[in-house]
Structure 1
Amino acid sequence: MTNPIDALLAEKGVLLADGATGTNLFAMGLESGDAPELWNETAPEKIVALHRGFVDAGADIILTNSFGGTRHRLKLHHAQDRVFELNRRAAEIAREVADGAGRPVIVAGSVGPTGELLEPLGAMTYGEAVDAFAEQMEGLKAGGADVAWIETMSSPEEIRAAAEAAIRVGLPYTVTASFDTAGRTMMGLAPKDIHGVAEGLSQAPVGIGANCGVGASDILSSLFDMADARPEATLIVKGNCGIPEFRGTEIHYSGTPELMADYVRLAVDGGAKIIGGCCGTSFSHLAAMRKALDSHHKGARPTVEDVVTRIGPLRNKIASESGAASGGEGRRERRRARG
Structure 2
Amino acid sequence: MESTDRPSSVFKQPLYGTDGGLETTLIFNQGIALNSFAAFELLSTEEGRQALTAYYQPYLSIAAKYRLGFVMESPTWRASSDWGFKLGYTHDELFALNKQSIKFIRGLASPYASTLSHIIISGNLGPRGDGYKADNRMTAEQAKMYHLEQVKAFAMADADLITAVTITYSDEAIGIIQAARSFGLPAVISFTVETDGRLPSGELLRQAIERTDQATASYTEHYMINCAHPQHFLHQLESTGDWKNRICGIRANASLKSHAELDESETLDAGDKCLLAEGYMQLFQLLPALKVIGGCCGTDHTHMEEIWKTLEAQEALKV
Return the TM-score normalized by structure 2: 0.81
Q: Distance in 1 between matches of 2:122 and 2:234?
A: 22
1:53 is displaced (CA, Å) by 2.0
Q: Does 1:293 align with 2:311?
A: yes
Other-structure match for 1:83:
94
Matches within 5 A, 1:26-41: 26=27, 27-34=29-36, 35-41=38-44
**Over the residues paired in the alignment, what is the CA RMSD in angstroms?**
2.7
Q: Does 1:112 align with 2:126?
A: yes
Other-structure match for 1:3:
9
Q: Which of 256, 268, 272 does residue 284 from structure 2 map onto?
A: 268
Q: Distance in 2 between matches of 1:222 and 1:80?
A: 42
Q: Distance in 2 between matches of 1:217 and 1:234?
A: 17
Q: Distance in 2 between matches of 1:23 and 1:218?
A: 20
Q: Which of 49, 53, 56 does residue 48 from structure 1 map onto?
A: 53
Other-structure match for 2:108:
97
Amino acid at match of 2:111: G
Identify if the C-alpha distance between structure 1 residues 130 and 40 changes in structure 2 by more than 3 Å, giving closer, same or farther: same
Give yes or no for contact 2:122–2:163 (8 Å, CA) kept in 1: yes
Runs of at least 5 residues in structure 2 that lack an aligned partner in the other structure: 1-6
Q: Does 1:198 align with 2:201?
A: no
Q: Distance in 2 between matches of 1:151 and 1:222?
A: 19
1:98 is displaced (CA, Å) by 1.9
Higher mean alpha-carbon deviation, 69-78 vs 97-106, is at 97-106
Other-structure match for 1:65:
75
Other-structure match for 2:170:
156
1:46 is displaced (CA, Å) by 1.4
Q: Distance in 2 between matches of 1:142 and 1:265?
A: 38
Q: Distance in 1 between matches of 2:136 and 2:17?
A: 37
Other-structure match for 1:136:
150
Q: Distance in 2 between matches of 1:14 and 1:243?
A: 26
Residues 33-92 of structure 1: CA distance to partner in whole angstroms, max 9, x if unpaired?
A: 352211112211211222212111227223210101110111110114122111112211
Other-structure match for 2:230:
216
Identify if the C-alpha distance between structure 1 residues 98 and 144 changes in structure 2 by more than 3 Å, giving closer, same or farther: farther
1:125 is displaced (CA, Å) by 5.6
Other-structure match for 2:254:
241
Q: Distance in 2 between matches of 1:40 and 1:93?
A: 8
Question: The residue matched to 2:60 in structure 1 has which SS?
Answer: helix
1:30 is displaced (CA, Å) by 2.5
Question: The residue matched to 2:182 in structure 1 has which SS?
Answer: helix
1:137 is displaced (CA, Å) by 1.4
Amino acid at match of 1:45: Q
Give yes or no for contact 1:177–1:210 (8 Å, CA) kept in 2: yes
Q: Distance in 1 between matches of 2:151 and 2:238?
A: 31
Q: Distance in 2 between matches of 1:183 and 1:159?
A: 18
1:172 is displaced (CA, Å) by 0.5
Identify if the C-alpha distance between structure 1 residues 112 and 290 changes in structure 2 by more than 3 Å, giving closer, same or farther: same
Residues 230-279 of structure 1: CA distance to partner in whole angstroms, max 9, x if unpaired?
A: 24324222110132478x96232242332332222122112133222111
Give yes or no for contact 1:241–1:256 (8 Å, CA) kept in 2: yes
Give yes or no for contact 1:209–1:223 (8 Å, CA) kept in 2: no
Matches within 5 A, 1:174-185: 174-180=188-194, 182-185=196-199
Other-structure match for 1:328:
none
Other-structure match for 1:22:
23
Identify if the C-alpha distance between structure 1 residues 61 and 221 changes in structure 2 by more than 3 Å, giving closer, same or farther: farther
Question: The residue matched to 1:180 in structure 2 has which SS?
Answer: coil
Identify if the C-alpha distance between structure 1 residues 267 and 182 changes in structure 2 by more than 3 Å, giving closer, same or farther: closer
Question: The residue matched to 1:198 in structure 2 has which SS?
Answer: helix
Amino acid at match of 2:58: G
